Amino acid sequence: MAKLLETVDLVTNFYTYEGVVKALNKVSLVVDHGSTFGLVGESGCGKSVTVRSIMRIVQEPGRIEGGKVIVYLDERDKQAGIDLLQQSETYMESLRGDRISMIFQEPNAALNPTLSIGDQVSESFLFHQKKEMCTKIYEDLCAPECQLFYPIKKIQQAVYGMASNNPYAVSLKIMNKVPILKRWQKRLKKEAKKRAIDIIDKLGIPNPAQVVEQYPHNLSGGMKQRIVIAIALACNPVLLIADEATSNLDVTIQAQILELLRRLKEEVISSILLITHDLGVVAETCDRVGVMYAGNLCEVADVKELFGNPLHPYTRALLDAVPKFSVEKELKSIEGNVPNLVTPPPGCRFHPRCPRVMGVCPQTFPEMKEVKKDHMVACYLY
Ligand SMILES: Nc1ncnc2c1ncn2[C@@H]1O[C@H](COP(=O)(O)OP(=O)(O)OP(=O)(O)O)[C@@H](O)[C@H]1O
Ligand code: SF4
Ligand SMILES: [Mg+2]
């Protein structure tokens, strides 16, 4: 499969009063076109910082200090790729929420409580699909069924015709400024609302025409998360990053949202980068998995291979710590504590907790190696 996103030796630090938090220590991963990549690991291991670094939205006092984030979005850059860390902020703004969009754990934080659902989803279409919508309106105005008074029809055709080539055309701006012409903008808003209703319907929300008139507080948590997904999809992203997007939902709703994401991946989005600490979710949803520990990626493999043949001692410990329906198998916790990333252990960061630690482990950081086809591990045992 062709690569869609690749991080190479990504390093991100936080400059806090307690010292430098070494949150990401050379994280290298690849997400292919058409795949779902799951990123797992204990709380604080750097999952969110990884995706925030990819999107270049690391919060203060964080800084991306090294590495590359290469995307292969279009045919023309499929060969070479574009390093996002070298692009301007303007480029990143046009990319975020467009070719790559992101949904977070807390839908309430993503929705504006004072705006109706329809306005919020429409706004996303108005921002990302203005050109397509102007083309559609122009075609409707040119259709023989259009009964508008001829001179008005001609002027509107001219305005929307121009806007379909350039959505930032002066004609649209003039239309927005002149009060008598302003009502023609209604066509654009109506088209955006129609698309909002369509997408809400596609996401399996009953009575979409009523839902668009409601406000976030009228909806349940699962419904709100679907609306957030609708907003993220309005721009036809190639990659959807979901950071613990289902963690706050009860299990049945969680299952529905995951099923929805799976369907969307097949039909609309090319790839998903799913962050979760739930290995059950990974087993059901992902094609490939990356396991993180204390700012390092320690193992990456296809989902079946990782669950069937875990190699890194941390991955093994993580899988042993998952409750199973078996009386014989005792639930094991991982000995020791998650390290402080201001003073992380030298060498392999897992060595103070590793049951198989050797002399070399505290000395040098183990590089990631491909030990079997498509199965990578960073551990001196292999
Ligand atoms: N704004 C910040 N200031 C200082 N340190 C931060 C900040 N954000 C993250 N960190 C540190 O970076 C490390 C990785 O955090 P991150 O949020 O990526 O963890 P996570 O794997 O997403 O955890 P969780 O599963 O709890 O969401 C943590 O040690 C955390 O303390
Ligand atoms: S490198 Fe050493 S300490 Fe680290 S996981 Fe492997 S055996 Fe354990
Ligand atoms: Mg997180």
pLDDT by residue (tens digit) across 180-192? 667 777 888 999 9
Cβ neighbours of 84 (radius 10 Å): 21
- CATH architecture of the domain 1-110+236-336 equals 3-Layer(aba) Sandwich (3.40)
Residues 6+ apart with CB under 8 A from 373: none
Q: Tell me how many degrees the CA angle 188-126-150 measures, rounded to the nearest 5.
A: 15
Task: Give the orientation angle of helix 150-165 with respect to helix 170-177, to 10 degrees.
Answer: 130
For residue 358, what pLDDT is reported?
A: 95
Q: What is the largest CA-CA distance in the chain?
A: 86
Classify each residue of 106-141 as buried b or exposed e, where b means 16 or more C-beta atoms within 10 Å of its C-beta. bbeebbeeeebbbbbbbbbbbebbbeebbbbbbeeb
Pocket of ligand 1 (CB under 6 A): 14, 16, 21, 23, 41, 43-49, 59, 62, 277, 341
For ligand 2, whether the C-beta of 368 sits within 6 Å is no
Q: Which residues of the chain have pLDDT under 70?
A: 75-79, 171-172, 180-181, 324-331
- Cα–Cα distance, 261 to 121 (Å, whole number): 18
For residue 330, what pLDDT is reported?
A: 67
Least distant ligand from the CA of 353: 2
Stated as kind and residue range, the H or E segment containing 161 is helix 150-165
Reported pTM: 0.88
State phi, psi for 120 to the nearest 5 degrees.
Answer: -70, -40
Instruction: Determine the 3-state secondary structure of 27 from DSSP.
Output: strand
The two structure tokens encoding residue 288:
């490939």
Smallest CA separation from ligand 2 atom 1, residue: 379
For residue 232, what pLDDT is reported?
A: 87
For residue 130, what pLDDT is reported?
A: 83
For residue 193, what pLDDT is reported?
A: 94
For ligand 2, whether the C-beta of 294 sits within 6 Å is no
Give residue limits of the domains in the chain: 1-110+236-336, 117-197
The two structure tokens encoding residue 112:
């504006």
Closest approach atom of ligand 2 to CA 349 = 4
